[in-house]
Structure 1
């Protein structure tokens, strides 16, 4: 009997169940067939949580009293993105259009500003809140200005102001009161990344919803609108980075041909402060660099990675860094040369350090020489390297010691 893979089994099961359901062989839990549903809004899900559906007449009436005009004093392209977002959201959430003012904040204004861009902020007692907000946080306040209430969203940086606006819009989308706001918030984690398993041929490893979003055959000349929509969606929930390529990395992603395509994506995402990261194939110095080795302690290898990293930053000044799968499931790594994971990660970290980049080194390794029990292997291997990694290396573990299985205990 032919063996079938887990993926084939699941695909066949889902397809079979769907066929029985559509044929009427399985019951419909709602009591009516889907064809009986009427007045369903035209919704394809593309807008995600940025639909800005009207929250209801009573709530809208309250919002109209609080926000009668808008003033955005945030510099750069991120400030423009804030204006655009409010221009899309507020007419729906308020049930009417609102004027955008420049340089003034009468009563009933939604004022969005960075602390350095508005004298209004310097006159308020917000120093402690803004200190807590740091680079990516924000303060949202109902303040008394010009003999009336003003809704203030302020931050130290443009991205903080954008995150603050999204917070306010979430409150309004969910019908929350906004007449007496006193909110200070900031992201709890520095690195908040999407991790794509997209391949250069447009396929996606373990992808079940179509082909890759990145149209490599069109870049860098043609920009799909979805690239902007993607960055906007990420920023709306505080995602500040994205790894765009499969961890089972094709080294060609690091060639100049592809780096120029990637640089255009980074330019689009910069408005929303979404930094771009790449996966690095550890054997890239051999496969695209013409070297005879990828030994992380070899001088030629070290120099090759330094030159490649400098090239990336010349094209993408805010490049985030590398995600690396090494010595795992057939991927090349430092142990091929008798080196440790720390020595491999540190070589890349040193190349990135002067640019402010990081290495995310996956700890999903299963070397049988470490321990006969696979569940113990990664823990044993990496705990004995504790303290040996550079400060700009993050060791990435799975949720559980074996895999991403929900039935597992948390990884120690």
Structure 2
């Protein structure tokens, strides 16, 4: 009997082993998977030799299944391809084409493009196609990026801290650079190239002038050397007052010839060390950062002065439109439009104005920024936040693909068919520059971004930057298949969780268009009651304006009239609460607590329902994830399970603290069936988190 029980136990263990991946997975490999055990690698031939083509060949040799057709990597102008009808001009510099072809009397898989980098993108497209369920025997792929610039913004500081970073210290070890080039730098570049990212800003937009000194230029040059074969240019955030701080000048006025000469010389110094340096990213006159307005000059004056310095070298300037200052006490959401719209057409042709997806600050939900469509004479680059400053840091599951897609698909109302995506792509007004920037969520954590599901946000950003018309749901499925394997149960379950996750965070943090209700500074947890900070727009009460009568920010003509910054068709929709989408209702309207929603519920009842729904969604995600335990490696399953438990607890905290506060204002009872908060409002107000990650201490 003991033997039978022992055999039964062994059989059960064997069955579990068959259902589970054999190897642990710490997340380091990201969506790129592991190399196959190749006894006879597929032949991959190169029509020319370069570091980039060698990388592409090695990727294919170690990943293509045995028995696949031989592969040829060749530029589209190669004479051997002359009879294939490849439209080289249509591919541009980065587009690729993959096809079955007879070349020299042999049937081969051809990966081609105008440049070596395009061929590398094509090689990664082959692997993506195969690893997400495609057939290696029938490859016919063609894709051209819709944007020129696909850039990660690292908010990394020289001391190794990452502002709004939740995956450990900075990936860049400035102390050991330029001498030691950590292998992770190449792995980082490889991951970015696999999704089409072609640029990275190394340092925080709250920049230190020392980033532009000779020692740090040499360190940046070492990183550029690693990144170059992967098609990634580096950029630096430039502190506007650097001529004073490291140049010995008495002014940083962009109209001063000595200042312009200093920047011209500095640009020359950088380009001598990094010939393919991309240019500068600038945060100016925002949150205390220096800028041209300190001298009575305009943003165009400042941007154009820097643009003139880098233009002889082919460089660009990305000038952020995030101008968060106390210059518009009426409504912070109006500031960027007010300052930048009048400057349309005044920027140099190598300047892009970098505009956040919404008018406030990377909230879980914001209406699209009114500057999109409002500056037709100026190239705009859209800025999204991949790191989850306001979406639960690294521990909350919040797939941001739907957020990105929601903004990109938004009609501007300015011209027929125009969307945010068309404004920032090559369709935009014939502009030579276009792009998307994402605030990176990458650090030194072994899994790069703090959790497996955070990797999906890096992935979907890169893929949407390449083509904003792609579906966030299709990309979630694509990522899940590459990350977890081809088990359809795993893929279906994971995608279902991902597609509901961002809306759940919106529900338990700021439903119905509420925004910026976070605790002070670190933005960890709720703080809708905060009202004692020095400037009005630093306080959450500024944004929700709740009182005994109602809640919400009136941005119609009876309030700040921020709706006037949108095209008339959009403004008309937002002017009436009945035509305003419920998800944005309280962003644009201050409404009575008993305002009747479309289904007859009062505003208060609907608000409570959404808080409850957010918590319930997280509970449901936990249950779904639990069913996958036998199908996913223990390391990643366990970490995600723990994080979902944290998220559930913190969603409940958000719900309880928020409802306790709203009830202290409106005096209303909770709807039937909705539980009272676990603690008193005072309990939640007393909670402190002095060392929350990602916040300067």
TM over 0.5: yes
Query: What's the TM-score bracket when you normalise by the shorter of the two chains?
Result: 0.7 to 0.9
Normalised by the length of structure 2, the TM-score is 0.48
Q: Distance in 2 between matches of 1:39 and 1:377?
A: 52
Residue of structure 2 aligned with 1:86, choices 56, 60, 71: 60
1:4-403 to 2 correspondence within 5 Å?
41-52=23-34, 68-90=42-64, 94-95=65-66, 108-116=69-77, 118-126=78-86, 128=87, 130-145=88-103, 149-370=107-328, 372-403=330-361
Partner SS state of residue 217, structure 1: coil
Matched residue of 2:30: which SS? Answer: coil
Which residue of 1 is the match for residue 515 of structure 2?
none
How much does 1:202 deviate?
0.7
Q: Larger helix proportion, structure 1 or 2? A: 2
In 2, the alpha carbon distance for the partners of 1:78 and 1:95 equals 23
Deviations 1:318-366 (A, max 9, x none): 0000000000000000000000001000000010111111100010113
Q: Aligned equivalents of 2:35 and 2:183: distance in 1? A: 22
Alpha-carbon contact 2:44-2:61 (below 8 Å) kept: no
Contact kept in structure 1, 2:57 and 2:73, CA below 8 Å: no
Give the 3 Å change call, closer, same or farther, for CA 393–166 of structure 1 in structure 2.
Answer: same
1:297 deviates by: 0.4
Contact conserved, 2:317 with 2:352, CA < 8 A, in 1?
yes
Distance 1:180 1:40 in 2: 30
How far has the Cα of 1:86 moved from its partner? 1.9
Secondary structure at the counterpart of residue 85 of structure 1: helix
Question: What CA distance in whole angstroms lies between the structure 2 residues aligned with 1:76 and 1:331?
Answer: 43
Give 1:105's aligned residue.
none
Distance (whole Å) between structure 1 residues aligned to residue 57 and residue 109 of structure 2: 15
Q: Separation in 1 of the partners of 2:47 and 2:185?
A: 26
Supply the distance in 2 between the matched residues of 1:262 and 1:296 (Cα, whole angstroms): 25
Tell me by how many angstroms 1:383 deviates: 0.3
Q: Is the 8 A contact 2:76 2:113 kept in 1?
A: yes
Given that residues 74 and 158 in structure 1 are in contact (C-alpha distance below 8 angstroms), is that contact kept between their aligned partners in structure 2?
A: no
Please give the alpha-carbon distance, in whole angstroms, between the structure 2 residues aligned to 1:148 and 1:215: 48
Distance (Å, rounded) in 1 between the aligned partners of 2:313 and 2:265: 13
* Cα offsets for 1:239-261 (capped at 9, x unmatched): 00000100000110000011011
Conserved? CA contact 1:325–1:331, under 8 Å = yes
Shifted more, 164-173 versus 365-374: the winner is 365-374
Partners of 1:74 and 1:243 lie apart in 2 by 31
Contact 1:139 1:154 in 2 (8 A): yes
Query: Which runs of no fewer than 5 residues in structure 2 stay unpaired?
Result: 1-18, 371-697
Shift of 1:221: 1.1
CA offsets 1:78-123 (integer angstroms, 9 cap, x no match): 1121122223323xxx157x8xxxxxxxxx321111123x432112
Tell me the SS of whatever aligns to 2:149.
Answer: coil
Partner Cα distance (1:282, 1:261) in 2: 21
Q: State the 1:370 CA deviation.
A: 4.7
Aligned-pair CA distance for 1:178: 3.7
2: distance between equivalents of 1:113 and 1:225?
28
Contact 1:75–1:158 (CA under 8 A) maintained in structure 2: no
Q: Are 1:112 and 1:152, in contact at CA under 8 Å, matched by a contact in 2? A: yes
User: How far apart are residue 181 of structure 1 and its match?
Assistant: 3.4
Secondary structure of 1:394 counterpart: strand
Greater Cα shift, 264-273 or 360-369: 360-369
Contact 1:142 1:182 in 2 (8 A): yes
Aligned length: 351
Which string of whole-angstrom CA distances, capped at 9 and with x for unpartnered residues, describes residues 163-205 of structure 1?
0111011111122124343332111110100110110001111
Of structures 1 and 2, the one with the larger relative CO (CA 8 A, separation 6+) is 2
Query: Where does structure 1 lack aligned partners over 5 or more consecutive residues?
Result: 1-36, 55-59, 99-107
State the secondary structure of the residue aligned to 2:102.
strand
Q: Which runs of 4+ in 1 moved over 6 A?
A: none
| TM-score, structure 1 normalization | 0.81
Distance change (3 Å), C-alpha of 1:181 and 1:84: closer
- Paired with 1:41 and 1:78, the residues of 2 have a C-alpha distance of 31
Aligned to 1:405: 363
Q: Take 2:89 and 2:141, find their aligned partners in 1: how far apart are those partners? A: 14
Partners of 2:317 and 2:292 in 1: how far apart? 15
Instruction: Give the match's secondary structure for 2:73.
Output: strand
Q: Is the 8 A contact 1:136 1:159 kept in 2?
A: yes
Distance 1:146 1:296, change over 3 A: closer
Distance 1:84 1:179, change over 3 A: closer
Q: Distance in 2 between matches of 1:301 and 1:146?
A: 60
